Amino acid sequence: IDAASNTSVEDVRDLRERINFAPNKGRYKVYIVDEVHMLSTAAFNALLKTLEEPPKHAIFILATTEVHKIPATVLSRCQRHEFRRIPIATILAYLQSKVREEGLKVEERALALIARQATGSLRDAISLLDQLASTGEEVTLAFAEEVLGTATDEVVRGVVEALIDRDVGKGLSLIHAALDKGSDPRQFGRQVVDCLRDLLLVRMGNADLAEATQETLHWMEAQAGRPALALILRGIHSFSQAASERRSTWQISLPLELAFVETIG
């Protein structure tokens, strides 16, 4: 059930009637209510009776990203499980085991890129790996970058270094070179944000929270004391906006160009 799709009190009452029928197969019937916080007060009240005394064969899963909108009377009758993004290291370890089990040929750096691109979703990581390995050929870092529309770490570090040096010419040239080679503008913006975020963590003494490669971490440790904190924060804000820009602009490089210039101010 998608509660965001105008689920009414009548829908909940109909569910209450059908839930009493035992499953034809298996021991349980599982009802997943997505975006449950979108239910009206009346719909919650209609559901409450079933939650208080559910049939033994019925299991309810109430999914939400806004738990504070769930009535206390409902929350008190639920077990609460928080789902969070999976750390990159955990995703990478799983992909490594999957590659070994299936005898795939994938470069270690390509696996690390896939793990970062999945942004905490193991399902997305597996899908990306399957997509890249579908050719039957070895999955190299260069091939993965080409298919995923990402720029190399060296280019991203170059743009961040140009921000630190306030070198507009170098920064814009690197941005255009990355886009000319097929990098996706929004993805490139996200890569710059990730790099700046990790640089901020290193500067704040939390390098263990950064999700960069060892090579990039060594570079960040050398750079951490150079940029002003305000510049890093402006860069994260400006490039985040550029990464969320819709593709309606006829000049695809413009959001990134503006983000670079606004950052160095």
* Confidence check: pLDDT of 38 > 90: no
**Contact indicator for 199, 227 with CB cutoff of 8 Å:** yes
99 pLDDT higher than 90: yes
- Whole-angstrom Cα distance, residue 205 to residue 182? 35
Residues 42-82: tens digit of each pLDDT:
888 888 888 888 888 988 899 988 888 989 988 888 888 88
Segment 182-234, tens digit of pLDDT: 888 988 999 999 999 999 999 998 888 888 777 888 889 888 888 889 999 99
3-state secondary structure 165-197: HCCHHHHHHHHHHHHHCCCCHHHHHHHHHHHHH
pTM score above 0.75: no
Residue 2 has pLDDT above 70, yes or no: no
Q: Does residue 20 carry a pLDDT above 70?
A: yes
- Cβ contact 107:92 at 8 Å: no
The pLDDT, as a whole number, for residue 172 is: 95
Amino acid identity of residue 173, one-letter, is S
Q: How far apart are CA 263 and CA 146, in angstroms?
A: 28
At 246 the pLDDT is 67
Confidence band of 136 (pLDDT split at 50, 70, 90): confident
Cα(127)–Cα(244) distance, integer angstroms: 23
Dihedral sign (CA 60, 64, 67, 70): negative
Q: Which of 9-18, 47-56, 138-147, 164-173 has the lowest mean pLDDT?
A: 9-18
What was the pLDDT predicted at 223?
A: 86
Distance CA 34, CA 211 (A): 31
Tell me the pLDDT of the chain averaged across its residues.
Answer: 87
